[in-house]
Chains A and B, each alone.
Chain A
Amino acid sequence: MAYEAPDHLLYTNDHEWLKRDDDSPDEVTIGITEFAQEQLGDVVYLELPPEGTALTVGEPFGEIESAKTVAELFAPVGGELIGVNAELEERPELVNESPYDEGWIVRVRLADASDLDQLLDADAYQALIPEE
């Protein structure tokens, strides 16, 4: 069975996903992929910057702690952090249980929409990850 990677999302080499908002195309939601959460194991804590923080593409902006390890979150696009999933404070396991929906991590207002051109589509991302 392959890991799920929905067609309507964009992906990074660092196993993050990005979804463009239907109504406000300069706003995006970011999370980690099914494969990433499986590799991390049980997520127990996320260290995220406050809203308003400026993100630089490719730079680390937060950390995600699992029971066994810690991983950095890298900004897939540049822009301003406009939302953090507050639900994860109490229920970090949502990142494991629902990585593409309830387990979203941050929302960002794009500084430069051309950043999106560097991202992978679902097929290209699937080619990156091993079969389970």
Chain B
Amino acid sequence: MSDHNNPGGLILLTLRDRHLALGARFAPFAGWEMPLQYTGIVAEHHAVRDGVGVFDVSHLARAWIEGPQAAEQLRSVTTFDVTALAEGQAHYSLYCNEAGGIEDDVFIYHLPGDRWLVIHNASNAESDFERLRSVAGEAASEVTADTVMLAIQGPKAIRLLGDVLGEAIPALNPRDCLEVTWRGESVLFARTGYTGEDGGECIVSAEQAHALWDALVAAGATPVGLGARDTLRLEAALPLHGNDIDPSTHPYEAGLGFAVSLDDGAPFTGREALAELKDQPRPRRLAHLAAQGRGVIRAGYEVRERSAAEAVGHLTSGGHSPSLRRGIGMAYLPAALAKIGTELEVDVRGRALPVEVVRRPFYRKPRD
């Protein structure tokens, strides 16, 4: 069933031949032809929760800002005080508009020599890069097409990465980043991810990408597609831009206040609005809902009070949680209904499925 041609001008992955050989089923995503699944979403999901999975996430846009002004330039467009990041550290941040709405969520790496790498969502790649260009001009450069980005995630990921990339990897703390030399070439590594598991993300040149992918798979990493990436991030209650956060939502109601620095006093786009929003009561909050009966709650479904006719919100994301074996999802709800333990219902195509508001994340790693 997989379409072996290039359907509708999608961007094809450098490692497409590897995905094809593994029997991937592809789906278009934000202009890219992406592997949706190889053996099956649920099996791939468990491979990451129990062992280690490798994801081709090359659709994420990658841009450098370089030079002595780079930190200040980045600070002026992102919510987090990146100037406080030491060399070799990475952090989550946001691009907001003047009203404090979230234009994108990003990851920023500080590398030695005044070099900063920013990871953008594929769907916002163009406007995000424009934003960097507007403050950094030619000092901002995009390397998405020249590199491949792989995520290696799961309880066994760091051990495997130590074997493949060297013992510098297990020595890193969470959110540390480092350039390692692998087979004579530089690979950028960060101990980050989007699954709620330990692990990391690698950026490697397109020329060396096949060799690294092969080495990771040979070392025991299970290839995992976009389908399981979504169930994993949902269980970890990590927001997806375009679903759970967008230009009409602000960081505080989305539970992302940790990504906004106001104390340093530095100006950045959206600062005034965010400073006001921070101290205001929040009429609505992003709530985390878990089904109490059997059934799957999905994005767009209506949330209601029990036995009520009126919607109090709609799911921004939802799905079946393979780890918890029940439906989970997120929705912006009036603050009074977003309290942990509140019992609500979701309209599952005409059937009222009872749900409750739960703490995030939905899934927590079992302790050793």
| Chain A residues at the B interface, C-beta cutoff of 8 Å | 38-39, 41-42, 44-45, 47, 63, 65, 67-68, 70, 89, 93, 96, 130, 132
Contact between A42 and B349 (Cβ–Cβ < 8 Å)?
A: no
B40-A41 in contact (CB<8A) = yes
The digit string for B29-51, where 1 denotes a CB below 8 A from any CB of A, is 00000001100111100000000
Given A47-B351, A67-B319, the answer on whether A41 and B41 have CB atoms closer than 8 Å is yes
**What are the residues of chain B within 8 A of A42 when measuring CB–CB?**
40-43
Contact status A67-B320, CB under 8 Å: yes
- Judged by DSSP, the binding face of A is mixed
Contact A63 B349 (CB under 8 A): yes
Chain A residues closer than 8 Å to B322, beta-carbon distance: 44, 67
B-side interface size class: 10 to 19
Given contacts A44-B320, A130-B1, A132-B1, contact A65 B296 (CB under 8 A): yes
25 contacts between A and B (CB under 8 A): A41-B37, A41-B41, A42-B40, A42-B41, A42-B42, A42-B43, A44-B296, A44-B320, A45-B296, A45-B320, A63-B349, A65-B295, A65-B296, A65-B320, A67-B42, A67-B231, A67-B319, A67-B320, A67-B322, A68-B36, A68-B41, A68-B227, A70-B298, A70-B349, A130-B1
Question: When chains A and B are docked, how far (Å) is the Cα of A40 from the Cα of B10?
Answer: 24
- A68, B225: Cα distance in complex, Å: 12
User: Using Cβ atoms and an 8 Å threshold, which residues of chain B touch A47?
Assistant: 295, 351
Identify the 8 closest CB pairs spanning chains A and B, nearest first. Answer: A42-B42, A67-B41, A44-B320, A65-B296, A42-B40, A42-B41, A67-B320, A45-B294
A63 partner residues in chain B, CB cutoff 8 A: 349
Q: Which residue numbers of B lie inside 8 Å of A, CB to CB?
A: 1, 36-37, 40-43, 227, 231, 294-296, 298, 319-320, 322, 349, 351
Chain B: CB-nearest residue to A44: B320
Contact partner of B296 (CB less than 8 A), chosen from A70, A93, A132, is A70
Residue of A nearest to B327 (CB): A45
Taking a contact as CB atoms under 8 Å apart, the answer to whether A45 and B295 are in contact is yes
- Cβ of B41 and Cβ of A39 under 8 Å apart? no
- Contact yes or no, B227 A41, CB < 8 A: yes
A42-B40, A44-B322, A45-B320 given; name 7 further pairs at CB < 8 Å: A39-B1, A44-B320, A45-B294, A47-B295, A65-B320, A67-B40, A67-B320
A131: nearest chain-B partner, CB-CB: B1
B231 contacts across to A, CB distance below 8 A: 67
B1 touches A44 (CB 8 A): no
Chain B hits for A65, CB < 8 A: 295-296, 320
Contacts of B298 in A (CB 8 A): 70
